[in-house]
Amino acid sequence: MSGAVLARLASSPAARAWLPVAILPPILLADSLISAEGPDITVFGVLAAFVGCLPLVLRSRLGFAALAPLLVPGIILILWQLEPGSTVVLIPMVALYELATRSERRRNVWVAVEEAIEGVVDHKTLAELSPITKN
C-alpha cells in the first residue's frame, strides 16, 4: 500500500471505527491457541471473537454506560468459546480509551483514582480471603 492510501485510511472515521474489530479478534484467537488449557478453535469460536468485538464500532457514538450492556454479552461469549487469558480486557480498554479521549481531563483523573483505590481494595480483600479458602 502506498503512503497516500495509508494516510487516507488513517484519517477515515469508518476505518478507525472498524480497526479494533479487525485487530482484536486475531489477538484473542492467538491467545486462546497459545493457552494449554484453552479449547480447540472452532468456526463458532472465530465468529464469537468477531461478534464480541462488534460493539466497539459504536464506541464513538455511545457513552460507556450505553456501550457496557452491549460489550458484556460479547465478552461472556468470547470467554465461553475461546477461554483467552488476560487479553479479553482489551475490549473494554478500547472503549474506555475512547471515552477518555472525549472526556475532560479532571473527570479522567477522578476515574483513574477511583479505579486505583478499587484495585487496592479488591487486592486486599482477595489477600484476606485467600487463607479462608485454603482451609
* CA dist list (Å): 9 to 6, 47, 94, 129: 5, 25, 19, 50
DSSP the chain: --HHHHHHHHH-HHHHHHHHHHHHHHHHHHHHHH-SSSPPP-HHHHHHHHHHHGGGGGTTTS-HHHHHHHHHHHHHHHHHHT---GGGGHHHHHHHHHHHHHS-HHHHHHHHHHHHHHHHHHHHHHHHHHHHHH-
The mean pLDDT value of the chain amounts to 80
Domain chopping of the chain, boundaries = 3-102, 104-135
pLDDT of residue 45: 92
pTM score: 0.71
The better pLDDT of the pair 39, 57 is held by 57
pLDDT of residue 47: 95
| pLDDT score of 129 more than 70 | no
pLDDT digits (tens, 9 = 90+) for 82-107: 888 888 888 888 887 887 787 777 77
Place of cell 464513538: 60
* CA dist list (Å): 115 to 9, 105, 121: 34, 15, 10
pLDDT of residue 126: 47
pLDDT digits (tens, 9 = 90+) for 103-123: 777 776 776 666 666 655 555
| pLDDT score of 132 more than 70 | no
pLDDT of residue 4: 76
| pLDDT score of 24 more than 60 | yes
The better pLDDT of the pair 126, 30 is held by 30
